[in-house]
Amino acid sequence: MKARVVFWGGVVIGTALLVWMLRAYGGAAIDVLGSDVSVPGLFAVGLAIFATIACLSVRWRYLLAGLTLPPPFHVVALQRSAGHVLAVLIPSGKLGGDPLRAWLATRVGVSGGDAVASVAADRTLETLASAPFSILFALLLLQHGIPELDRALITILIGTGVLFAAVVLVARALHRGRGIASELVRRIAPQPADGPGSGTAVIEAAERAAATLLGRREQLGVAFAIGIVANVLVILEFWALLVAFGLPADGLAIVAAIFATGAAHALPIPAGIGALEGAQVWLFGMLGHPVEVGLAVGLAVRCRELLWMLPGLGYLLVTTLRASAERAADADADGAAAS
């Protein structure tokens, strides 16, 4: 019940904020966006987005390859984009799409344990690789007269420290052959049967797979380096996006756009409705830009997110249609056999 209240409350508040901003400044923001659009710049944005998705997919597939025969690259890339779709729509940081990614991986032959372990390792490495950039961005904005971000910096530092400590704790436990998650599940919800298909069995398999990955430090180092490259590509994405629409594209503006986007998606509002645009308006306003410029940046970033989601939406649609066709064929076959 509380989750529904938070979800729909976020939808209502975010939508109301977005409608107000569009009614008050939408026309001026559209004029800003359409005044100096560069078609080659938009093409560059598409290339940068493709490169970022490809880079993230390479990391996930590289981790999978350390455990099992990975799916083809294009399948991994589409599943990575599909996970991003759910992560954006569900207010859960970026974690919402991870269970979907693991499930989609099992649909193409990856075992449940390997899928869960690879996704967990991929998300952990992504967070650790992004943390230095988030800290640097917050410091840069603080140096340019936005003292309100001091709390955000403290939150980032604490969150990074907690994550690092948790990774060390889990790694030591797995090295000793102890599974924290499986033990916790047994204590909270003991199951009468621990068969191959049970939840506990999948968790134990995931822990064994995670232990295997933890024993391959060189592979984890390469995966972490890929994450650094992905963060650099995101910076290029935002630079190309701002340049393509003729928006402020200096280093501080790029940092502000990225930081505001991340902050908006950390709020419990689905798809960051209103929060994304509001965060851009506030932060660019603190940098001395008028409201319509901040709103224009927010709308441009919204277009970027739609481009990010398109491959995943297409993949989910095709997957759903195939599953429906398979169920219909199975039902017809059962009906024919019964008759």
pLDDT tens-place string over residues 156-212: 888 888 877 877 777 777 767 666 565 555 555 555 545 555 567 888 888 888 888
Cβ-contact 82, 316 below 8 angstroms:
yes
Least confident range of 185-189, 246-250, 273-277: 185-189
What percent of the chain is predicted at pLDDT more than 90? 36
Q: Which residue has the higher pLDDT, 168 or 21?
A: 21
339 part of a folded domain: no
Least confident range of 45-54, 118-127, 184-193, 326-335: 184-193
Q: Is 60 exceeded by the pLDDT of residue 257?
A: yes
253 part of a folded domain: yes
293 part of a folded domain: yes
Q: Is 70 exceeded by the pLDDT of residue 22?
A: yes
Report CA dihedral (9, 270, 124, 220) to the nearest 10 degrees.
180
329 part of a folded domain: no
pLDDT given for residue 62 in this prediction = 95
Instruction: Please give the angle made by the CA atoms of 327, 331 and 334, to the nearest 5 degrees.
Output: 135
State which residues form the domain around 133: 12-318
Least confident range of 14-23, 97-106, 174-183, 229-238: 174-183
pLDDT given for residue 182 in this prediction = 58
68 part of a folded domain: yes
94 part of a folded domain: yes
pLDDT, tens digit, 9 for 90 and up, residues 26-67: 889 888 888 878 889 899 999 999 999 999 999 999 999 999
Cβ-contact 271, 79 below 8 angstroms:
no
Least confident range of 136-145, 183-192, 308-317: 183-192
Which residues have C-beta within 8 Å of that of residue 96, sequence separation ≥ 6? 86, 87, 89, 90
265 part of a folded domain: yes
Task: Domain count for the chain, please give it.
Answer: 1
pLDDT given for residue 336 in this prediction = 66
